[in-house]
């Protein structure tokens, strides 16, 4: 943490470039070098404050900071430093101006299985690095895969470590969390959840299915029905879009989307799979895939309708969506605007 100086003495705060996850992200320019960074700003609850399911605790925020400061990998967003002042924490993050991977795939002039392999391998190597350091991301999804430069899918970075945690051993994680379409079945199996880093490999399998098929393997507008489909783990490659995809790619997906985490491929087995070791082949354009992505974009980004609080099906952490989140972000934005006005 930078001490003895205010953030606005070091950085010039600019326009808001994003919101989400109880945070506001602003453009920050280093006053000494002119270098641009992304400043993620979060309200910091007072120590000992009681909080509800729609708030991030002080401990949650500092867990994210602790994890980010320990990471340095070409496919993971870099955090430079952070400041704590006025009951807020300011994270100085690498500026990623390329947008989301899905948008880049849709905008590219030519998208092939080789391109999907390149994207997937970047993600897998980042996951390998995280797991080697005892960290589970727990929220891998297309929206958290960002590009350094626009339309350049050769350099992807994993972002948003708000749900990431360190783990002490098999089954050490117990919190039911994640994004519904990407969540692993062991997290929502019912009863007390106990799981480990295998959940990230399930999410990687979902991402690969979408990158090659253009639609999610499990979808329902109802969250309980979606979770039931995930727990059963039943999907197929009958859609016509898969006729252009190699058998090796479909085999890898099938070995990642395995309900029992003990039978799911490990990270090393994924990297040793024939599809991942294939030389740069599969250059044929996946026109049906990109067409399907465009028609399925609502399915790829929409959150399903949650069950009632009394339902027997465990629900994903409500802190990732909903009106409460919008109000929290609005409140934070108003506080920041007032601070900026007072500083003038």
Q: Choose the catalytic residue: 60, 139, 200, 220.
A: 139
Domain 7-95 has what CATH class? alpha beta
Tell me the H-state helices in the chain: 7-10, 58-69, 101-107, 113-132, 198-213, 223-232, 247-256, 267-272, 274-277, 287-295, 297-301, 323-343
pLDDT for 87 equals: 87
pLDDT for 51 equals: 53
153-206, pLDDT tens digit by residue?
999 999 989 899 998 887 789 999 999 999 999 999 977 788 999 999 999 999
Q: What is the largest CA-CA distance in the chain?
A: 62
pLDDT at 7 over 80: yes
Tell me the DSSP string of 170-199.
TT-B----S-GGG--GGGSSSSS--B-THH
Whether 152 is a known active-site residue: answer no
Q: What's the CATH number of domain 101-313, 3.60.15.10, 3.30.70.360, 1.10.510.10, 1.20.120.420?
A: 1.10.510.10
239-255, pLDDT tens digit by residue?
999 999 999 999 999 99
Higher pLDDT, 94 or 307: 94
| Nearest C-alpha neighbor of 132 from the set 166, 90, 96, 89 | 166
pLDDT at 92 over 70: yes
Q: Would the CA dihedral through 121, 122, 128, 134 be positive or negative?
A: negative
Q: Mean of the per-residue pLDDT values for the chain?
A: 86
| Nearest C-alpha neighbor of 39 from the set 59, 54, 17, 56 | 17
**Residue ranges of the chain that CATH labels 1.10.510.10:** 101-313
Residue 249 vs residues 117, 208, 223, 246, 269: alpha-carbon distances, Å: 9, 9, 28, 5, 14
Higher pLDDT, 298 or 26: 26
- Rounded to 5 degrees, what are φ and ψ at 287? -65, -40
pLDDT for 344 equals: 62
Task: Read off the pTM.
Answer: 0.87
pLDDT at 320 over 70: no
**Percent of the chain at pLDDT above 90?**
67
pLDDT for 308 equals: 42
pLDDT at 331 over 50: yes
**Residue ranges of the chain that CATH labels 3.30.200.20:** 7-95
pLDDT for 43 equals: 87
Confidence of residue 324 (pLDDT cuts 50, 70, 90): very low
């Amino acid at each position: 943490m930078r001490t003895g100086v205010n953030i606005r003495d070091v950085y010039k705060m600019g326009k808001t470039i994003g919101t989400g996850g109880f945070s506001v992200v602003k453009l920050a320019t280093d006053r000494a070098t002119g270098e641009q960074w992304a400043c993620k700003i979060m309200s910091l609850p007072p120590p000992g404050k009681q909080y509800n399911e729609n708030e991030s605790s002080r401990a949650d925020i500092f867990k994210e900071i602790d994890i980010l400061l320990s990471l340095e990998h070409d496919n993971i967003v870099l955090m430079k430093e952070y400041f704590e002042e006025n009951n807020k924490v300011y994270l100085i993050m690498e500026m990623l101006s390329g947008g989301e991977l899905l948008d880049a795939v849709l905008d590219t002039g030519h998208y092939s299985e080789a391109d999907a392999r390149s994207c997937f391998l970047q993600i897998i190597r980042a996951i390998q690095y995280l797991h080697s350091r005892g960290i589970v991301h727990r929220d891998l999804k297309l929206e958290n895969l960002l590009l350094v430069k626009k339309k350049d899918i050769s350099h992807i970075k994993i972002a948003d470590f708000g749900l990431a945690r360190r783990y002490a051993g098999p089954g050490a994680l117990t919190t039911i969390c994640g994004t519904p379409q990407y969540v692993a079945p062991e997290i929502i199996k019912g009863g007390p959840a106990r799981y480990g880093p295998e959940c990230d490999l399930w999410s990687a399998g979902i991402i690969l299915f979408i990158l090659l098929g253009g639609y999610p393997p499990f979808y329902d507008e109802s969250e309980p029905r979606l979770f039931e489909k995930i727990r059963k783990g039943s999907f197929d490659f009958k859609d016509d879009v898969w006729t252009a995809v190699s058998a090796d790619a479909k085999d890898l997906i099938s070995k990642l989307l395995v309900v029992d985490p003990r039978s799911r491929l490990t990270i090393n087995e994924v990297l040793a799979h024939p599809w991942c070791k294939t030389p740069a082949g599969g250059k044929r354009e996946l026109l049906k895939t990109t067409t399907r992505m465009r028609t399925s974009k609502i399915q790829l980004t929409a959150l399903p309708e949650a069950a009632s609080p009394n339902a027997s099906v465990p629900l994903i952490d409500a802190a990732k969506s909903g009106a409460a989140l919008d109000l929290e972000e609005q409140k934070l934005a108003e506080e920041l605007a007032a601070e900026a006005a007072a500083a003038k």
